[in-house]
Amino acid sequence: MHAQTTPITTAAIAAALSTARAKVADNKRWMTALNKASLEIISTPWVWYGHTLKIKSRTASTTWYSVTATSCGCQAFAKGNACWHRAAFKLLSNAQNVTPATPATPATPATPAPVARDSQADVDFLFN
C-alpha cells in the first residue's frame, strides 16, 4: 500500500481517471501523460501529502520528484512539456475529492464548477 495522509481508494482513482480521460480526449500529449500516470501510479512508489505529491523517478532510482498543481521537478516539466507526474497529481487530487459514500450511482455528467485557475493553462484546459 502507498503511504498517504488521506485515504485514496482505487475506485476513486478509477473514477478520477475516467473523468480526466474525457476531459483530455482532444489533447494527445495529455492523454498520453494521463494513460502513463494511470499505469505508473500502480507500480511506482509515491506519497500523497494533500497538496503535494512525492513520486519516484522511473529513470533515476534515487530521485523523487515533488509535484504540485502547477509544477514538477522533472526534466519534461522544465522543458515545458506535459509529464505524467502532473497527470498523476491531478488524478490523485481529484480522487481525493471523490466522495466514497456514493458507490453505484451513475455519475451525472456534472457541469464544470467554476474553479480557481491554475497558472498552467494546460491543466485548466484539461482537467477543470
Contacting positions for Zn ion (CB under 5 A)? 72, 74, 77, 83, 85
Question: Which residue, 84, 114, 100, is CA-closest to 13?
Answer: 100
Residue closer to Zn ion by CB (options 92, 98) is: 92
- Minimum Å distance from CB 76 to Zn ion? 5
In 3-state terms, what secondary structure has residue 68? coil
- Minimum Å distance from CB 128 to Zn ion? 19
Residue closer to Zn ion by CB (options 87, 98) is: 87
CA angle, 53 then 32 then 116, to 5°: 50
- Cell numbers representing residue 119 in the block: 497558472
- Minimum Å distance from CB 96 to Zn ion? 19
Residue closer to Zn ion by CB (options 15, 90) is: 90
* Residues β-bridged to residue 48: 4, 53
Residue closer to Zn ion by CB (options 85, 90) is: 85
Give the integer Cα–Cα distance in Å for 89 and 37.
9
- Minimum Å distance from CB 65 to Zn ion? 6
* Residues β-bridged to residue 56: 64
